[in-house]
Each structure stands twice: as structure tokens, then as C-alpha cells.
Structure 1
Amino acid sequence: MKYKLGDFVRFVDEKMEGFVTRIIDDEMIGVTGEDDFEIPVPASKVTTVHGYQSGKSTNSDVIAEQKIPAAEFITKGIYLGVANDAKAGSVVHFYLINTTDYILPITLITEKLGIAKGEYVGIVQPKSNIKIYSAQLADLQLWPKLILNVLYYTTQSVKIPGPLTVEEKFKAKDFAGTKKNLPLMKEQGWLVQLDKPDLVIDAQKLKESFFKPAEEKIAIDKPVQEVDLHIEKLRGDHVFLDSAEIFKLQLAHFNKALDAAIVHQLPDITFIHGTGNGTLKNELHKILGKHPKVQTFMDARKEKFGFGATRVILK
């Protein structure tokens, strides 16, 4: 099939266009238009719209090096960056980002159910990046294992490391962190360093660690008067979390804020939990009803929150 995730296509028989957001099989693809509705369509019924590129690439098969003094030659800094497509947000692209001064011949192989498939082969020049793979974010649990092989090359008189092989089977938790600015790219995404420096153990620091004095009492920040427990207020990556993980995070934030309010001797604190199906509200009320430091609790300011917030009066 000639189409890839993120390609911009136009329907042959209709005045419609959109981005390829799913590869169903060898003959069918899913295309998402401006209405964010994905339409299954035979690949033969669409055509590529030239002029749009879903990913940026600075790759070149021409090997040309600029001489760099050995003392300034950068040897570390190979990253795998994952970013949402600028037009089709349900698609993510994987980039090999090379901030070193080495030229990097690379291959990417995917493996699923014991079957391997070559996805990319090429050369990444120094201080450049290249898109090597794309995937549908909603299918994260079905992604294959990625096997990335990297060679180092330079004509300069510096030490050349041995081949780098990285095998990774991504899970939802791998995308739980906050997005970062991707090196060499004007985009934000998730970043993994593939050539982390070798761990060097400092014997003196290790020895000192056995004789550290008792840690000082940890300072607890004073909570705000109104604590919003909606998951989008707590985590920017909440789209990757399932309902059980969200519920666990909300309870943890609630308990932390309640403990802080008690430590700082606040007279009361309000928790905004929303209405929803009532599961979170019921669990909070169950905890509050048994808490020895809670005097009483009630719905908070119905004119402002409706039944979506609880005010807690502390002893």
C-alpha cells in the first residue's frame, strides 16, 4: 500500500479530503476529515494531495562532514521523539533525533506475534532528525515492538562506539509524562534518550550516603481553598489513562490536599469533584464520614457548583 498514517488525501468520487488516520488492511484505510469523523474507504478511491508533509525530515543520503576539533566533537545525544501529527492529532510520528556529530546509519524493524517487518532504513546526518515510523494513538495497546539499530560513522579521528540496539514495546504509562520541546524540532512531544551515558558510581558519595543524618521534616505546602479534582486539571496526559488510573490519581490528590489542610489547621476546604456518575463523590463522602479530623461536610455553594463540589468543615 502506498499510503501511510498522516498522509493528506482526496476522495476520487466525492468532494472530500482528509488525513489517513488508520491502516485497516492492504486495501482499506481510515480517513478523518475536518469533522473529526473517520471514514473507512478503499485505498483505490483516494489520491494523494501533494504539497503537504506530515513530518519534517532533514535526512540525506549524501555523507558530507564538517571538520570539528576532537575536543568539541559531541558524542552523546541520540533521541527517539514522539509527536502528534500537526493536522491529524490521532496519529503520532516517531523521529530519530541526532544531536551528536556522528553520522548515523539506522534501521527500524517492527515485530508482532514473532513476525518481523522492516519499516525504515536510512542515514541521519549530524544535528538533524528524520521521521521513521507512524502509528494510530488509539491502537497503542496493539503497537508492535520496535527494534532500532544504530551505527556510528565519522571520518574524523575520534572514538567510534559499537552498534546501538534498542528494543521497545510501548505502553500507555510511557506517555504519562509531560510533553517536552523536542531537540532540533519546533514541536512538543515525548522524548527518550537512546544513548544514556553509562552509570558511573562515585565511591566516595556512596560511602557518604551510609552516614547521612536523618532527613529533615518535609515541608507540606498549604493547599488552595478550592481543590479541583477533574483529571484534566491534575494531569496533562490524562487521555492516555484508563478510568481506574484516573480514579486512583483523583483519590491520591484528594487525600494529599485534605492532609495538608489539616496540617495547616484550615477551618474548611472545598473539593470540586463534578457530578458524573457519582462514583468519585460517593468515595470522598465515605472517606470523610470516617475521618477523625472532619467535623462535617455538605454540598458547596450550589449556585456555583450545583452538586459537583463538597465543602469539608475541619475540627
Structure 2
Amino acid sequence: MKFSVGDKVNFLNEKGGGTITAIIDSKLVKIMTDDGFEMPVLSADLILDYRALAEDDIFETAAPAAPVQKTIQEPEETVPETTSEINPWGTVREPKGIYLAFEPHEQQWILTGDMDVVLLNNTSYDMLYSLFFEREGTLEGIDYGSLPADSKVVLETISRDEIENWTRGHLQFMLHKDLPEKLYLPVHTEINIKAGRFFKEGNYLSNTLLQGKAIIVNVMPQAGIEIVSEQEHAKKFGQSSKTQLAQPVKEKPLIEKHKTGMNEAVVDLHIAELIDNIAGLTSHDMLNIQIAYFKKALNSALTNDYTKVTFIHGVGNGVLKSAIIKELEEYEETENKMASISKFGVGAIDVLIKNNE
């Protein structure tokens, strides 16, 4: 049953009820109970309070002015609230980042029926965003706006026939906070989802971002978003800005965490060493996180006059190693070679940093 803000409802399986104050998503609403408590409740566990409706009808008949008042309020009640808090009923365990999700309405028959397309801002920053998808060879603007921290928005409800229109696109966004711990650069990232992923039941995963099983796409992990360095701040805003930025955050350089000797460090890039939970991440997402951390560690080593950093990439299929070597082409002050086989096997690379004299 669909409800509107302002509807009076009763609990289906227990005594009591209340008034609907917000529509969280297609299956969840927020109500103010008769006791004065506000709480999220499944729509399926509620029923309209028909006795209250009957009383409203009697009141409207007796007082001719009432319909005019109701007409003024009605537009507010019929506009659904599409932006809502992520997981108000529990703890989010997925890594911080920006997600796109496809949540089927029919959880028992997960390969049939309509789906909600949901954009999720799983960070502590507000997000300004612009979203585009490619449709029939044309780039089409789908939505733009702002999304508060730790919240989600239902972009559209689509049928299975419309899936192809939501597989290739682009997301541009900026993160904002009144008192930020870090400043992030604006982000442009591509969305590329294989259409066949929607037709395998095993791809719809339980998660803590949404209430039901869904296809979860980690569009951009927060750990992979580039941070504005203090040097860039000094160039743009002057030395005083750099000083002010450095005062509240007194942390050791990142490379110090990996120091093994005088001006030397070893950085393990295995994904399990970088993040605690890889649920919902694709291999592409994990590679982005690893490369982002590699660049941060190397930049920190350069800034702090290190002479050698050993990066452990593992054996695997060589994708991470190839990506590291490609990135190193941008660093003229470095050379690289295979690390000691006796210490690291064939799964590590030494980056030698030339002294700037």
C-alpha cells in the first residue's frame, strides 16, 4: 500500500499507530507514534486508520472552509521525500565512498519487477553532483543537485526493459564540509556496468546500505579521491593559508607508517592491508584504491627525502604491477627495479628516489 505524508496509520500486527512524517523509500516510511516517538517502519506493517479518515470526512462536511485549507496543504503531502538517511536502523559496514545501487521491489522474485536506482553518499561530507548516462549514442543529463552526508536519493524507478539505459555513464561531484578535516579535489568518474550482471541472482547482495538485496556499485571509494596537498594550498592561497591548515592537523607523514630504516620504507599494497571491508567492491574499485594509496605513499616519500620505497604488489596477474610502472613514468626523479627476491619473492618493486641537488 502506498502512503503519503500526513496519513494516519495503525500497526498491522500490534496495537497503536501514528502519523506518517516522511517517505524514506518504496518500502520504508517514518512515522510519529501516538506516544510522540519518531521511528522508521516497513510500509507492509502499516494500514490506514480508516476511522480517522471517516472522522475527517465528517469534519469536512460540517465545516465548508476545511476543503480550502486541505487544498493548500495537499501539494506538500503528495510530493514524496526521495532523499533519506542511509540505514537509519543499523550500522553501515561498507567502505566510505559514493555508490550507485539497483534495488528490486520484489525481493522474493529478485530477477523480476521494477527496481529503484539509488545514489548513495556514504561519506561524512555533503556532495554536489551531476549525473549523466549514455542512451542510444547520446549523453543525457539524468540528475544534479546536492546530497547530504550519509544519505541516499532514489533517482528513478525503472523496469527491466530500461536496464540498458543505466549501464554506461559519468558522475561528477564535489565533497563539502563546513569544517573539513581534508580538502578533496573535484571528481569525474565513469560508470560502466555489464548488463548481464542484472540477470544473475547471485549478483544481488545483502548489504548494510539498503534494506533489501541489491546490485551495489562503488562508483568512487573515498580512499581513492585525491586530496588537495598543502603545497597546492600554499600556491593558491599563500603561505599563511598553509600555516593555518597545518595547525589543527598534527599528524606524521604517511610514509612514516611504513619506515623500515634510514630514509627507506616498505609499503604493502595488498587490499586487505589498506581497507577493512571489501564487500561490494569490484576488482576495478580495489585497483583504484591500491593505486591511490601508492601515489600518496610515493608523494609522501618524495616530500620527506626518502631514498628507497619498496612496494609489495603481490604476484597475481600483474595488473597492479603494470599500473604502478605506468604511474612511475610520471615521476622523472625515480627509477625502479625488482625488489630482493630473497626478501619478497617476485611480488615487489623497489622505487629509488634520486637526490635533488
TM-score relative to the length of structure 2 = 0.35
TM-score relative to the length of structure 1 = 0.39
